Structure formats: structure tokens, C-alpha cells
Amino acid sequence: MADKPKQGEILGIPYNFERPSIGRLLSSHWQPGNGMLVRKPFGIGYTLNLASWRSWVVLAVVGVLLWQENGAGDAEAEPDDGDEDDPVEVVVD
């Protein structure tokens, strides 16, 4: 039986299943000469290149969206009176 390759591409998507090392993990996330996305050091697909300013913009946008989703934006909303379980009168003409 032939050995399967541990790295390569399938349908244009890179994969790498070699045993990861600390040096390879760190160097893959900081590549100043490359674009915003670089190959993952382990696994399938791409990851962010932290040497690119565009990656920091993406991380900032994601952080703001998570901050808003987790309730930081609730201070601007109406206070909850707690009467959601009270009956509501409906008038039909």
C-alpha cells in the first residue's frame, strides 16, 4: 500500500497533516511578504496572517460584533419591566 501524502492540495484547498512544531505554528501566522490569508500550519484551509494590517481590521470587526452580541449594546435599549408574562387585552372590532 502506498503512503498517503501528508501535505498538498485538493480542489485548490491546501491541507497539511504533518506533526506541528512550535516554530512552524508561529511562523505560519506571521508572514510579512504574503497577503491576508496564508496556509494553515496544521489542518485544512487558510488562516489569518497577523503581519497584514487587513487581518487586524477583520479581528477588530469580529470583536466589536461579539461585544454587541453579548449584551454591551443593551444599555441603550429600553429597560425590561418584567411584564412579558402578564395578560394582554386585545380589542377586535
CA atoms within a 13 Å half-sphere pointing along the CA-CB vector of 75: 3
Cβ-Cβ contacts under 8 Å for 43 (sequence gap 6 or more)? 15, 16, 17
pLDDT at 11: 93
User: How far, in whole angstroms, is CA 92 from its chain's centroid?
Assistant: 49
pLDDT at 81: 59
Q: Is 49 exposed, middle or buried (0-12, 13-18, 19+ CB in 10 A)?
A: buried
Q: What pTM value is reported for the model?
A: 0.62
Per-residue pLDDT of the chain (93 residues; tens, 9 = 90+): 568 888 899 999 999 998 888 988 888 899 999 999 999 999 999 999 999 999 999 999 999 999 999 987 565 555 555 567 788 888 998
pLDDT at 3: 81
What is the C-alpha separation between 19 and 41, in angstroms, rounded? 9
